[in-house]
Amino acid sequence: MGSILNRILNQIGDQAVLDKLLSLSKADLNSLLLALFERQTNKVLPSEMLKIYKANRFSLPSKFDPVRYHALEAQLLTEAQNMNIQTILLSPSAPLGSCSVFGCVNQYNVISALRNTETLADPTNMLAITIADKLKERTECNTSPLHYATTARVVRGQTFSGTASYAHFGLYCMVSSGKDKGAYICEKELLEKHLSYYKVLFKTRFSAKLSIVLRKRGGYKDNDGFFSKMTEGMQTIFPDTTISIDSNDIENKYYQGINFKLFMEKDGEVLEIGDGGFVDWICQMLGSKKERCLISCIALDRLLLLDG
């Protein structure tokens, strides 16, 4: 984007135009952008709309059967409710910066919009924001862990390739929140809840087995002790589940301590379905080091492909 931006600024003839625009209040900047887009759309003719539609990968419909897709959503959410996981219906819009502000996603990969919003790109961020808001307003308490789930169709800015790769796709997401109890008890409870859900789901809905890869991440003072506690705990809780261990300590801006990859084994095939791990987003929002947060996500479009 650097070379493109420089070309645009040179064409405008004002290298400081971005700084000038950022000096405006959010309300004034929004008003300016609204006027700009109004003028831009006023130039568009109805006869041009089909060409614009065909050229815009973000607007093209999915090829999946909507009846099967929404039935799958209902089944996943029903299973969540059966396991005492609260379900919530998110807005298709999110606050501007809801992904990038946590340092895990580049804003260029999000579809930014007007009125201080962006198109929903990651429901886990919005579930974490929702939980943090409830904790701050004291309408929820996470002394006993909170578990939230949702499904959403999201749009991403980057270009994907391969089977079932679209600019928009469906996700089932879970976010759990709890308070540090010492000895990594809270983290163990949250991780068990997520893996239990996926194990039950794969067995009852798809007649398939869950296999897991537990991957070591940085972010804890005692990374070795924490990772050992989590891996040993999960191997004890899920003795009949294939669990692989990846002990390479990889620093990243997303997960902390541990993250997991989820695979579905069915009819001799193994397909990666999703992943998850611990994040510090609620810690950052509430300013409390006692907050623990685990997120996970599976791809609905891949599940539909697997289900024929």
- Domain parsing of the chain, residue ranges: 2-43, 66-91+122-306
**Predicted confidence band at 279 (pLDDT cuts at 50, 70, 90)?**
very high
pTM of the model: 0.89
**CA angle at residue 269 from 266 to 274, to 5 degrees?**
80
Q: Domain spanning 66-91+122-306: which CATH class is it, in words?
A: alpha beta
CB-CB neighbours of 171 under 10 Å: 19
- What is the residue whose two structure tokens read 């983290």? 187
% pLDDT > 70, the chain: 96
Quote the pLDDT of residue 103: 72
**Predicted confidence band at 161 (pLDDT cuts at 50, 70, 90)?**
low
Residue spans of beta strands (DSSP E) within the chain: 86-87, 93-95, 117-119, 146-155, 168-179, 209-217, 242-250, 258-266, 269-279, 291-299
- List, for residues 226-237, the tens digit of each pLDDT value: 999 999 999 999
Does the structure show a pLDDT above 60 at 162? no
Range 62-67, long-range pairs (CB < 8 A, 24+ positions): 62/166, 62/168, 62/169, 62/301, 64/301, 64/304, 65/304
- Stronger pLDDT, 168 or 291, i.e. the higher one: 291
